[in-house]
Chain A
Amino acid sequence: MFFDLNIRGSSLENNITLARQASEYGWDHINFSYNQNDFQNALDLREGLKDSLDGIISFDYTLEIKSTNINEIRKTANKFRNKASCISVIGGDLKVNRAVLENIKIDVLSRPYLKRYDSGINHILAKEAMRNNVAIELCFEDVLKSYLAPRAKVISNFRDIYALYRKFDFPLILSSRAESIFDIKTTQDFVSVFKQIGLNDDEINEAFSTSKAILEFNENRNEFIFKGVRRVNDEA
């Protein structure tokens, strides 16, 4: 199953075009991501999308928080927790990276390497990610839209994250962050690129499983009383 938790959402028509293209290229599920300012309005598009994409591809919404203020991130995450199937925060700032990985209510730290000279993750943050089950997201777009030296640096940052991933086994997810039909690739091409830049087949499959697990976990989030205890509806 191929899951993409970060396709940038915009207007209804554009979303439909992207979703149809993604379905044609072999994706099974996509999440349209909106930032905290647009997310509430985007929820109104859900019915229109449902009608147009019924039987073509399943979709949901990701809230993508972009802020360097830790309190604002925490408040926004709490506010939209029940409305979004996935909450991700754009990283890059070390304080943000740390605050996000310590917050169990956030699902994904997106691009911790953004605008940095290093990967933005060290062994301590990797352990926090593992402890709080916060996934680290690597975006295909960052490789696609850069070239020469910047592309080499992004790939180098990816490799640093892979090394920590192999040691600490935190959740890792891969996404395209596509905003137009020029950014969407077939699933095989997507896998090929990540294989070329250092992941193996098992790790890529694991990354897609993690994306699926995040969505399933959030569907039942209300049933969790506290960590490790879940209310079940078992009449037998």
Chain B
Amino acid sequence: MRLKVLPPTLRKNSRYLTLDIKSASPITKDELVNMIWDACIRFQGECMTSNFNLWVMKFYEIEKTDEYAHYKSIVRCQRDFVENVRSSLALTYRYNGNLVSITTIGLSGTIKASQKFI
């Protein structure tokens, strides 16, 4: 049996970050999920990260060149913690020994609106 959906006033407010990801080696969506959680837990700590309500909504492969693989993604986080998430992701530099760069190129209140940054 599923839980009944909360009334709007009790729901968490979400924001959707559009991420620009460059990786020296190809990555999968699962690896991105791990990367995001690792980045947040490492920079903000476990207690703070528990507030973020992180979820990877979409994952797009844009292009692959000799230098890097380029991806974009839409990630959900809680409204009051956008700055914390942004800064944690910006400080990702290596994952499994490979160079990785994550930067936020868009912020919006709905998934539909965040897709214009893709």
Binding site for B on A (CB under 8 A): 25, 143-145, 147-148, 180-186, 188-190, 192-193, 195-196
Contacts and interface: CB of A to CB of B under 8 A. Distances in A.
Nearest to A25: B103
Given A182-B93, A189-B87, 17 more contacts: A144-B90, A148-B42, A181-B22, A181-B67, A182-B22, A182-B100, A182-B101, A185-B90, A185-B101, A185-B103, A186-B104, A186-B105, A188-B104, A189-B104, A193-B90, A195-B83, A196-B43
Contact of A189 (B22, B86, B99): B86
Contacts of B101: 181-185
Interface of B: 20, 22, 24, 42-43, 67-68, 83-84, 86-87, 89-91, 93, 99-101, 103-105
Contacts of B93: 144-145, 147, 182
A195 B87 contact: yes
Contacts of A144: 90-91, 93
The majority secondary structure among interface residues of chain B is mixed
B4 to A, nearest CB: 36
B70 to A, nearest CB: 10
B23 to A, nearest CB: 9
A60 B38 CA distance: 37
A167 to B, nearest CB: 26
A182 B93 CA distance: 8
B101 to A, nearest CB: 4
A195 B91 CA distance: 13
Contacts of A195: 83, 87
B86 to A, nearest CB: 4
Given A192-B83, A196-B83, A181 B68 contact: yes
A99 B62 CA distance: 50
Contacts of B100: 182
